[in-house]
Amino acid sequence: MSLDDLASRLDRQLADADAALARKYPGDRGVRQPLHTVYVPASSYAAGLVPEWRDRALATLDEHGPDAGSFARVAGLAEEGMAEVYPRVRAKLEREPIEDLRIDFEDGYGARPDDEEDAAAVSAAVALADSVSAGEAAPFHGIRFKSLEAPTRRRGLRTLDLFVAELARRGGVGDGFVVTLPKVTSVDQVAAMVTACDWLESAHRLAPGRLRFEVQVETPQAILGADGTALVARMIHAGAGRVTGLHYGTYDYSASMGIAAEYQSMEHPVADHAKAVMQVAAAGTGVLLSDGSTNLLPVGDATAVRRGWALHARLVRRSLERGFYQGWDLHPAQLPTRYAATFAFYREGLESAAARLRDYVGQADSTYLDEPATAVALAGFVLRGVECGAVDDAEVSEKAGLDRAALARLARRATAR
């Protein structure tokens, strides 16, 4: 048998494994990932919510951090580089204060009479459609309905159906629409959600595959099943290509693990363990990761704002350093530190990443001997910085000699948008 014969034999032997790898681990989907998801109770949602949050965020910034230096000191951020970050934060708040919005019919809404929730589902869909039509909606948006656990299954499905029906009727189910599936405890629930999406698309004349959903990881069963396996990995693949993200639920998960309320946090060891499992499960699948939230809000007097901003900024930075590029925000006053901490992260790393990319592409002698996988990570880092507004295309072109399309190719993205 020649070497070519052996290779052909192995091609046949490994054909199924090759196909499975390509199907299950397609890599980056080539889509922009929002920096955060804002959760708003359905009872508080209205078409003008995004501009309202913009105004409230800017008012908090004007009161407690009216210039780069004072903001850095209050928020516990490094003053070096803040002169470049601060105007970008203000511009971001004015232009796109919320990147991703979820209208919450689950914990943030609670149990209410059926007729009240029915009416709220329809009115929220109308408000979202109006917001989209007016150009005031967050670029990514959707709802979180009650879980598919037996006690809330029928209520949750009814709310989802009413919401999608009204939104579809008004032409509001676009590319930015996504549904959050909470409190998932079994792979079967993810498969059931696929069935529900199929039905909703057929019932409301939506294109097949239009509805997509995030899996909220907030139960121990999602991380470790009774058979000792990481069910979250199987959940991704049970989603039939509809699962877009895994979102860590800080407080439900921590409480389920028996952590006292005082110590429930995004940085508790049980949180880090769960998120590490999520990270491995999602790697190579194109499924995006989101960290959770902090419920210590920067509201009240100057001391309370200082404490809330400093904690939030630190936790945002911590998540970014650990590869979680998205998180939850619960209040308009958290938006300044979300963007400031994120923009600082990308701007601080730009010089080094751009120089290494320039040397890698030009095959120049360098302090770093970067391999292709590292070049992918470097390009992905810079591309994320451009997409969120932390850095400009012109800066990247000057420092790395690359445009956005070249960055996308290096990052192994099909497209960059």
CA-nearest of 249, 238, 241, 236 to 212 is 241
pLDDT at 79: 92
pLDDT at 255: 97
Can you read off the two tokens belonging to residue 146?
A: 């009650």
**Residue 118 confidence class, pLDDT cut points 50, 70, 90:** very high
Angle at 247 between CA 170 and CA 147, to 5 degrees: 65
**Is 206 part of any domain?**
yes
**Is 129 part of any domain?**
yes
Domain range for residue 119? 36-345
**Is 138 part of any domain?**
yes
Angle at 97 between CA 95 and CA 99, to 5 degrees: 105
Predicted confidence (pLDDT) per residue in 212-255, tens digit:
999 999 999 999 999 999 999 999 999 999 999 999 999 999 99
Task: In whole angstroms, give the CA distance from residue 200 to residue 117.
Answer: 19
Residue % of the chain over a pLDDT of 90: 90
CA-nearest of 148, 141, 158 to 182 is 148
Burial class (CB in 10 A: 0-12, 13-18, 19+), 114: exposed
**Is 217 part of any domain?**
yes
Q: What CATH code is carried by the domain that includes residue 313?
A: 3.20.20.60
Task: In whole angstroms, give the CA distance from residue 66 to residue 68.
Answer: 7
CA-nearest of 244, 269, 247, 245 to 258 is 269
β-pairing, 177-181 vs 327-329, is unpaired
**Residue 415 confidence class, pLDDT cut points 50, 70, 90:** very low
DSSP lists the bridge partners of residue 41 as: 104
* CB-based contacts of 219-227 (< 8 A; 24+ apart in sequence): 219/183, 219/184, 219/185, 219/252, 219/253, 219/256, 220/253, 220/256, 220/257, 221/185, 221/186, 222/184, 222/185, 223/273, 223/274, 223/277, 223/278, 224/277
**Is 382 part of any domain?**
no
Structurally, the chain folds into a number of domains equal to 1
Task: In whole angstroms, give the CA distance from residue 408 to residue 392.
Answer: 15
**Residue 157 confidence class, pLDDT cut points 50, 70, 90:** very high
Burial class (CB in 10 A: 0-12, 13-18, 19+), 412: middle
Predicted confidence (pLDDT) per residue in 318-338, tens digit:
999 999 999 999 999 999 999
CA-nearest of 43, 139, 70 to 389 is 139
List the alpha helices (DSSP H) in 257-301: 269-282
**Residue 417 confidence class, pLDDT cut points 50, 70, 90:** very low
pTM of the model: 0.93
Whether 77 contacts 83, CB under 8 Å: no
> Mean pLDDT, to the nearest integer, of 133-150?
96
Could you give the maximum distance between any two Cα atoms of the chain, in Å? 80
**Is 394 part of any domain?**
no
| In the predicted structure, residue 413 carries a pLDDT above the cut 90 | no
| In the predicted structure, residue 414 carries a pLDDT above the cut 70 | no
Mean pLDDT of the chain: 95
pLDDT at 416: 38
Whether 34 contacts 140, CB under 8 Å: yes
Can you read off the two tokens belonging to residue 45?
A: 């949602």
| In the predicted structure, residue 105 carries a pLDDT above the cut 70 | yes
Predicted confidence (pLDDT) per residue in 246-259, tens digit:
999 999 999 999 99
β-pairing, 36-41 vs 327-329, is parallel
**Is 381 part of any domain?**
no
**Is 373 part of any domain?**
no
